[in-house]
Amino acid sequence: MDKVSHLHGLYLVTPDWDDTRKLLEITELALKGGVSLLQYRHKTADAALRQEQAECLQALCRSYQVPFIINDHIDLCLSINADGMHVGGTDKSVAEVRAIIGSDKILGSSCYGDLALAHAAQAAGASYVAFGGFYPSKVKKYPVTTAPTIVSDWKAQGKVPSCVIGGMNKENSAPLVANGADMVAAISSVYLAGDPQAAARAFVNLFPA
């Protein structure tokens, strides 16, 4: 699997669902719609549930040839040999995580609305940088203060792909993709959609083939 080529399109992030069967069913529908990258993020799960869900999701992703990465938990990433990690502003630094997981895994970094953070993350070994929030989110709580122009600024300055996150739907993410966003991260717009496969496909269709 060429992991770098998957850093383009719909970047699906899991919700805090304890129902593993439901999580897998909806995720598979989304994968059928064309997800490029899946991040496992469950902020309230205990270690046993995280392990179970991560192993099941990874097996599902591998059947669709989609990279699977873990939010925050380096030990979990290493124990199941996931395809990579995503770290936020309060987690270990990009440099620390890169040193632990090695050079071959995907590593993403939350950079909010700060180009300086993005440049530092890139220099420390990030595979992609994530900007946001741009819009109010049903899931993640953060200031909605990121300027849309950061996407085009990064396109002109940065060397690694960018991802946009925060209340994304196919309408409000379209101008960010037009400005150069390489990936759109979504949670509720897919997982809570009446037709998750169609919702995923709608995001995919924002990107040139």
Q: Give pLDDT, residue 190.
A: 98
pLDDT score, position 5: 66
The pLDDT score that the predictor gives to residue 40 is 98
> What are the distances in angstroms from CA 113 to CA 11, 164, 207?
19, 10, 23
Its domain, for residue 102, covers: 7-204
Reported in sequence order, the residue ranges of 31-97 that DSSP labels E, i.e. its strands, are 37-40, 68-71, 84-87
Per the annotation, the verdict on 41 as an active-site residue is yes
Whether residue 167 is annotated as binding a ligand: the answer is yes
Overall average pLDDT of the 95-123 stretch: 95
Q: pLDDT digit string (tens) for 30-53?
A: 999 999 999 999 999 999 999 999
At 89 the pLDDT is 74
Residue 11: inside a domain, yes or no?
Answer: yes
Q: Any known ligand binding at 42? A: yes
- Domain annotation covers residue 2: no
- Is residue 1 in some structural domain? no
Mean pLDDT of the chain: 93
Q: ∠ CA 23-14-202 to the nearest 5 degrees?
A: 95
At 111 the pLDDT is: 94
Does residue 95 contact residue 64 with C-beta atoms inside 8 Å?
Answer: no
* Annotated catalytic residue, options 98, 140, 162, 170: 140
Specify the pTM: 0.94
For 141-188, the DSSP string reads -------THHHHHHHHH-SS-EEE-SS--HHHHHHHHHTT-SEEEESH
Res. 120 pLDDT band, cuts 50 70 90: very high
**Catalytic pick from 36, 41, 105, 170?**
41
User: 68 pLDDT exceeds 80?
Assistant: yes
Domain count, the chain: 1
Q: What's the pLDDT band for 108 if we cut at 50, 70, 90?
A: very high
DSSP structure string for 85-104: EEE-TTSS-HHHHHHHH-TT
Query: What is the pLDDT, as a whole number, of residue 104?
Result: 95
43 marked as binding residue: yes
Is 142 within 8 Å of 166 (Cβ atoms)? yes
Residue 21 catalytic? Answer: no
Q: Is 36 helix (H, G, I), strand (E, B) or coil?
A: coil
36 is catalytic: no
The whole-angstrom separation of Cα 110 and Cα 89 is 6
Residue 91 known to bind ligand: yes
**Residue 187, marked binder:** yes
Write the pLDDT tens digit of every residue in 157-179.
999 999 999 999 999 999 999 99
Average pLDDT for 73-92: 91
- CA pair distance 20, 32, nearest whole angstrom: 18
pLDDT confidence bin for 1, thresholds 50/70/90: low
Structure tokens at 1: 């699997």
Share of the chain residues as helix, strand and coil, in percent rounded to the nearest 5: 45, 15, 40
CATH value at residue 187: 3.20.20.70
Among 8, 62, 18, 66, CA closest to 42: 18
In a domain, 185, yes or no: yes
Please check the confidence at residue 138 and state whether its pLDDT lies above 70: no
74 is a domain residue: yes
Q: Domain for residue 163, yes or no? A: yes
Residue 84 lies in a domain: yes
pLDDT band at 144 (very low <50, low <70, confident <90, very high): low
Segment 133-141 mean pLDDT: 73
Question: Domain for residue 209, yes or no?
Answer: no
> If you average pLDDT over residues 180-197, what whole number do you get?
97
pLDDT, average across residues 53-78: 97
Catalytic residue among 36, 109, 110, 173: 110
Query: Any known ligand binding at 26?
Result: no
pLDDT value at residue 6: 78
| 109 bridge partner residues | 87, 129
Q: Is residue 93 part of an annotated ligand binding site?
A: no
